[in-house]
Structure 1
Amino acid sequence: MATVKELLLDRLRTALGPDEQLDLDIARALAPSVIVARQNDDGSQSPFTYWKYTANLDHARRLVEATLPGWWWKCGTCGLSDDACIAPDYNSPIHGERLHREFPLVLREPFDEGFDVDRRPSGNVAIALLESLFEALVYIEEAN
């Protein structure tokens, strides 16, 4: 049975563009404190987040930094693809020692190269970064 993170990774891989429901589901999984109740026209309330992870690269970046502190990230885009990669920054003066403990040398190979995403066609660099994040989270979850 697939985990929540695996299901979200699958949805990110097939997302055609920004998706408010996907943003809300990502918030539920990783940052539930950012979910608020929105008043609907009929007086009912529904969950909502102001964080537009799939539409806004800065929002996606902040989620990476909050979820995996001490990891480096990079993104790029061209006419063909959006690219993103994240990995632990073992040289970080703040997080390096902890990252060495959490991801020891025996497990480092996938972490040294990073979790690299080449998303085609281009136009969704925030989603590429989120894909990279969820690839790392799924790998970590499976390794534990």
Structure 2
Amino acid sequence: MQMFRPMEEDAALVGWGVRVLLLADPGANRTEEITRRVAGFGGLVEEQHELFAAMAALLDDPSGYGMVMMDCDFFGGLEAGQRALSLLRGSGLRLPAILLSSEVKGGQSFPEDRLEPILLRAPVSAVSLRVGFEHALRERMIWRAA
């Protein structure tokens, strides 16, 4: 497991201090790019490269994480990502989730229901990742502003 932190300290960062579990291919350039961008938003990124190890980490420390992100293409596609998320939801885990996949066609999804995953088309652009990240943490941002 690797942890990444942003180099700059900016109070306006969207994900200030939120712990994000990123489930992705360890050798992919897009994994490094996603990690760097999420860290730039203020997220504390922990990478996992094995599905069941990631699920165990989330279930062992359910309140320690603020979000889960998964690059579904590395793990069998969008359906596999949705199945893994369904298993986590069935275990009682209620954190925001972002699923990235090249199978997302027609449009990305930013559902209002907090338990529904945000679906982003891979490779993900900086703008869509930022919008998805902000959408996933919208409740956290509201409480922070209050």
TM-score under structure 1 length normalisation: 0.31
TM-score under structure 2 length normalisation: 0.31
Higher RCO, Cα 8 Å, sep 6+: 1
